[in-house]
Amino acid sequence: MVEVEYVKVKSVIYKVGMMEKVMVMMEMAVDDYAIDEKCNLYYKKSTSDRIEAKCGMEGCKWRIYASLDKDSGRFIVKTFKNVHTCSWNCKIRLLTARKIAHLILDDLRADSDLNARKIKKMLLSKYSVVITKTKCQKAREIGLKIIEEEHAEQFARMYDYVLELRQSNPGSTVILGTQNDVFQKFYICFNALKDGWKMSCRPILHLDGTFLRGWMKDELLTAVGRDANDQMYHVAWAIVDVENKINWEWFLTLLVDDLNLGVGQGFTMVSDQQKGLIQAMKNILPYAEHRICAKHIYENWKKKHKGSENRISFWKTAKAYNQVVFDKCLEDLKILSPTVHEDLMRYSIFHWSRCSFTEFAKCDAVENNMGEAFNSTITDAREKPIVEMLETIRRQVITKFDATD
């Protein structure tokens, strides 16, 4: 009679006589065991009705054998010798290129440019296993193919996703742009967010754009407001193929319609110096106040004027609360260096100086931190396939409002 023995394979404990529904579950458990316990296992037999795995080290007696029971239709562990008499040699023979591909999928989703050399180094660091560069390259190709199929499936689901959003959120603006059935752009502004912004938020929006981090190389455009407590209020977001004047005009036109902004009278926009945005603002909202993030102006300005003294003088000037204080700061800059003053005046003070801001926004922010903060909170979401990414953002926004209520 075979002695009963146990081994924990992640959440599974196998013993002689134990049943498993399908062979693939057995293989996955053995694979996990080999990786976790650092054992050089291989499959001596693996057919539709039986599986046998052994340790590949000479003289080691570790072995597991299971076969299909015709009566129950399940695999039954018939033999299990859970004793290793070998030492670890940093190799696992059963790790095929396809199995390695599944191990590195998340890393490939985050960085599609991950090459075989980096994969080899990562596997050694993470799992203490040595894999040939050739097998790493094959695993990379398989992984990229899996991700490509995932995204193809996600894009195919976009029509159903848009329909569901419209049906479950009446009054919301949900736009899906395609060309020859190929995805081009997406925009969403939920009706509840529209009404909330119009009824209780300050007349100011922070605009920002950021690259998606995974397989998609598109860009995410966002519009974030400020509520009565000066806290972040999500308004709308969109996905476009590239950040340019045409796409910013498209995004702004939809925002104008959703929020009834007209030509921008009595309204403020805050942004960085994104490509095409300044001209798009002039075309779509010609009478709106447009603030440009002082931090980005400073980053450009300091390339020629480094040093803590210049930095302190710049921020004193940007945050000067009236014209008298502002003029005094400018005089100090001239004394510091006429060139420093001249280069700073190349940027219109109406874009970055607090003393030149209009009062109707009731906001003295000279930076675009609010828009950038939203993008930083969705960093993980930006790595996911498109439907999953959009759902993650939607749930995150809803959860924030539920917590606020």
Which letter, b or e, does each residue of 271-286 get, where b requires 16 or more Cβ atoms within 10 Å of its Cβ? bbebebbbebbeebbe
- Evaluate whether residue 91 is within a structural domain: no
Q: Are residues 77 and 102 in the same domain?
A: no
Q: Are residues 73 and 102 in the same domain?
A: no
- The residue out of 81, 113, 142 marking a domain boundary is 81
Best CA proximity match to 268, nearest among 204, 328, 217: 204
Q: Are residues 129 and 197 in the same domain?
A: no
Q: Write the pLDDT tens digit of every residue in 94-144.
A: 888 999 998 998 888 777 778 999 999 999 999 899 999 999 999 999 988
Which DSSP helix (H) or strand (E) runs through 163?
helix 158-168
Q: Are residues 16 and 141 in the same domain?
A: no
What residues have CB less than 8 Å from 302, skipping those under 6 apart?
Answer: 310, 311, 314
- Evaluate whether residue 201 is within a structural domain: yes
Q: Are residues 231 and 336 in the same domain?
A: yes
Q: How far apart are CA 326 and CA 329, in angstroms?
A: 5
Alpha helices, DSSP H, located in 220-265: 245-259
- Evaluate whether residue 365 is within a structural domain: yes
- The residue out of 35, 54, 81 marking a domain boundary is 81
- Evaluate whether residue 70 is within a structural domain: yes
Tell me the DSSP string of 92-106. -TT--HHHHHHHTHH
What distance lies between CA 353 and its chain's CA centroid? 33
Which DSSP helix (H) or strand (E) runs through 37?
helix 23-37
What is the percentage of the chain residues whose pLDDT exceeds 90?
Answer: 41
Q: How far apart are CA 330 and CA 119, in angstroms?
A: 54
What backbone torsions phi and psi does residue 12 show, to the nearest 5 degrees? -110, 135
Q: Are residues 26 and 105 in the same domain?
A: no
Q: Write the pLDDT tens digit of every residue in 18-67.
A: 555 556 777 788 888 888 888 888 888 778 788 888 998 888 988 888 88
Q: Are residues 229 and 105 in the same domain?
A: no
What pTM was computed for the model?
Answer: 0.70
Q: Are residues 319 and 346 in the same domain?
A: yes
Q: How far apart are CA 76 and CA 78, in angstroms?
A: 6
Best CA proximity match to 240, nearest among 232, 252, 248: 248
- Evaluate whether residue 46 is within a structural domain: yes
Q: Are residues 19 and 164 in the same domain?
A: no
Q: Write the pLDDT tens digit of every residue in 360-393.
A: 888 988 999 888 888 888 888 887 888 888 999 9
Domain count, the chain: 3
- Evaluate whether residue 88 is within a structural domain: no
Q: Are residues 181 and 279 in the same domain?
A: yes
Q: Are 104 and 139 in contact (CB under 8 A)?
A: yes
- Evaluate whether residue 113 is within a structural domain: yes
Average pLDDT, the chain: 86
Q: Write the pLDDT tens digit of every residue in 291-342.
A: 999 998 999 888 888 888 888 989 999 999 999 999 999 888 888 888 888 8
Q: Are residues 62 and 133 in the same domain?
A: no
- Evaluate whether residue 86 is within a structural domain: no
What distance lies between CA 338 and its chain's CA centroid? 44
Neighbours of 130 (CB within 10 A): 12
Q: Are residues 74 and 106 in the same domain?
A: no
pLDDT at 347 over 90: no
pLDDT at 281 over 90: yes
- The residue out of 81, 109, 129 marking a domain boundary is 81
pLDDT at 5 over 60: no
Query: Where in the sequence is the domain holding 138, given as residue range(s)?
Result: 98-150
Tell me the DSSP string of 293-320. -HHHHHHHHTTTS-SHHHHHHHHHHHT-
